[in-house]
Structure 1
Amino acid sequence: MSRATSLLGLWAALISGPVLAADPAATPSETPSTVVAPPAWPAPGAPLTVAQVHFPEGFGKHRIYLDAGHGAEGNTGNKSVTCEDEETFTLRVAEDLARRLEATGHFRVLLSRKPGEHVPYPSRINAARKWNAQVMLSLHSDARGTAQPWEPTPGQQCYRQDASPGFSVLWSEEAAAPLRARRELLAHALARSLGHAGFRSYDGADYTGLYAADAAQAGVFVAKVSEPTHRRIFVLRRPTIPSVIIETHHALDFEEAARWREERTLEAFSAAVAQGLVDALAPAPGPSATARP
């Protein structure tokens, strides 16, 4: 049973239950009142904040290489609760995010691939370097836990698991200290901004043995150098610019996948990413702090 079904059942029970009469002797201050908390993400109606992005004076325009995760030859990624390939989802969201970042006038964005293209990951790293990108963001969706088969439509079988929603931001400690610090700063800034917007951070229960939770910021996880090479992620450890992966949501969670079809979600996400980029890239005070054109 999904959380939405549980909530509907609870609501039905509440509206069909007995109505309690108020005590006529009670004063207005004694009349009980109920404060109903808003639903939590990703429940339908859970609020998201589209923040006003604050650009400090002198921020200029920054180059962002935006990677729509997967989409290499034979690499479609996971398949969501509605049978959407991850490569399709990430391209759709990346195109939307690129448009909104460009519209601020403070970012130039280069997408890693276009519809129908299959771009190898080494080619993406090289493209970001040649373009003089300042940051590499790789968008993904996660598939967590033990899922069960189900049919979103008759005859169409996918997998579903509604117990592990939330975003995560991944970074690698495999770098010299200055780059490692910039990766960490970027990951923290993005996760903090996404949390302020109302997105739920993932608790990392399914990451044991893969990533270590970053104790300083909820939703941030670190790929450790101690892991075997084949388990260390290419787009996190190879770029010579700050790079992170944003696992936008749990693709097997029915409610969360549905929320990522909403315009409000895309709008809130783009504003949060923009603010996270500003917080990570804002020039330090001083006459030498300038942004690339």
Structure 2
Amino acid sequence: MPPFSPWPLLLAAALSSAAAPEASPTPAPPPTVPSAPWPSASAPLTVAQVTFPKGFGRKRIYLDAGHGAPGNEGNSSVTCEPEESHTLRVAQALARRLEATGHFQVKLSRAPGKRPPYASRLQEAERWRAALFLSLHSDARGQAREWLAAPEQWCARNDAAPGYSVLYADDTPEPLLTQRSRAARALARRMGEAGFLPYGGEDYVGLYAPDSAQPGTFVSRHAPGQRIFVLRKPLIPSVIIETHHAWDFEESARWREERTLEAFAAAVAQGLVDTLGGT
């Protein structure tokens, strides 16, 4: 018998080891980049799935595109867009989306080129027996500076105090008072859930008081003779949504995005269901 040599065994072990691929280390997950806060372009918005209770039916919503009355254009935005143009554009988009659910019948307060006075709008809403008078506006907050928005076009700008607010008046007896506050809180809550920023109210001192029950909701505190017509006059529930701060450049840009209009419509629709679901 030839003498024993360990080399064949050692060579086989080496070849076996070389043939087996080494386990690759598990790649580390990419670092999570936090989203920038609203109104940054990277701030996400959620288009919620609207749910309707059994028997909800089809509710009548009078949708007021704020301003657009004789001599009343509203504010002028950071790009010099009149408030009446913003509210009409957003109201038309919201009306289409609410109608598309099959659960809302919407009447707009005005059409392009028409300038009905507020008294006529209110009379129309009450004759139509709307379940809610919802008025859309935008805010102009704080102290603005002029900036060159386009060649030879100077506009107001203040990139502070962004966010939405929902307003109502409490100078009415029950049950209208509860109907107003319930609508305002529900709409504000659903907008917050969608990713919109509730305004803190820093520039509302003396005009509106925060509603302690819901961030982004405010109660009118205007002096007699200066009270908001569409908040105090209607005999049906009425609220105002201030969609955003019109002098904030980023926030105004967001309100021209389809995603913003879609998220807003879903939030409003669910807020209306919360408000009217039991009626």
**TM-score, length of structure 1 as denominator length:** 0.84
Instruction: Name the counterpart of 1:194.
Output: 191
How far the C-alpha of 1:34 sits from its partner, in A, is 4.4
State the match for 2:141 in structure 1.
144
1:239 corresponds in structure 2 to 234
Matches within 5 A, 1:51-70: 51-70=48-67
Matched, 1:42 2:39: yes
1:51-79 superposed Cα distances (whole Å, 9 cap, x missing partner): 00000101000000000000000100000
SS at match of 1:177: coil
Equivalent residue, structure 1, for 2:3:
none
Matched with 1:264 is 259
User: In the TM superposition, what are the counterparts of 1:132-171 in structure 2 within 5 Å?
Assistant: 132-171=129-168
Are 2:201 and 1:204 equivalent residues in the alignment? yes
CA distance in 1, matches of 2:137, 2:239: 11
Larger-gyration structure (1/2)? 2
Query: How far 1:38 sits from its partner (Å)?
Result: 1.2
Match of residue 74 from structure 1: 71
Alignment equivalent of 2:180, drawn from 179, 183, 196: 183
Q: Which amino acid aligns with 2:88?
A: L
SS class of match (2:241) = strand
- 1:90 is aligned to 2:87: yes
Unpaired stretches in structure 2, ≥5 consecutive residues: 1-24
Instruction: Output the amino acid matched with 1:271.
Output: A
Q: Secondary structure at the match of 2:203?
A: helix
Deviations 1:231-277 (A, max 9, x none): 21000000011100000000000000000010000000000000000
The code of the aligned residue for 1:141 comes to: S
Partners of 2:132 and 2:108 in 1: CA distance: 12
State the AA in 1 paired with 2:165: S
Q: Which amino acid aligns with 1:168?
A: S
Query: Structure 1 residue 198: deviation in Å?
Result: 0.1
Count of equivalent residues: 254
SS of 2:80's equivalent in the other structure is coil
AA partner of residue 241 (structure 1): I
Q: Distance in 2 between matches of 1:35 and 1:185?
A: 38
CA distance, structure 2, for counterparts of residue 145 and residue 198 of structure 1? 23
Cα deviation, residue 33, structure 1: 7.9
The 2-side partners of 1:279 and 1:32 are apart by 40
Segments ≥4 residues shifted beyond 2 Å: 31-36
Task: Give runs of aligned pairs for residues 248-259 of structure 1, distance below 5 A.
Answer: 248-259=243-254
User: Pairwise CA RMSD of aligned residues?
Assistant: 1.4
* Equivalent residue for 2:109, pick from 108, 112, 136: 112
SS in 2 for 1:248: strand
| One-letter amino acid of the counterpart of residue 234, structure 1 | F
SS in 1 for 2:225: helix
| Secondary structure of 1:146 counterpart | coil
Report the CA distance shift for 1:35/1:73 in structure 2 as closer, same or farther (over 3 A).
Answer: same
TM superposition shift of 1:102: 0.3
Q: Which residue of 1 aligns with 2:20?
A: none
Question: Which residue identity lines up with residue 254 of structure 1 in the other structure?
Answer: F
Q: Give 1:268-279 correspondences, 5 Å limit.
A: 268-279=263-274
Q: CA deviation at 1:35?
A: 3.3
Equivalent in the alignment of 1:174: 171
Long gaps (5+) in structure 1: 1-27, 284-288
Query: Is 1:218 aligned with 2:215?
Result: yes
Amino acid at match of 2:45: L
Partner Cα separation in structure 2 for residue 129 and residue 177 of structure 1: 18
Question: Could you give the per-residue CA deviations for residues 266-289 of structure 1, whole angstroms, max 9, x where no partner exists?
Answer: 000000000000000002xxxxx6
Cα deviation, 1:182-201, whole Å, max 9, x if unaligned, reads 10000000000000000001
Using the TM superposition, give the Cα deviation of residue 81 of structure 1 relative to its aligned residue in structure 2, in angstroms.
0.2
Give TM-score scaled by structure 2 length. 0.89
| Cα distance in 1 for residues equivalent to 2:219 and 2:174 | 15
Whole-angstrom distance in 2 between the partners of 1:86 and 1:268: 21
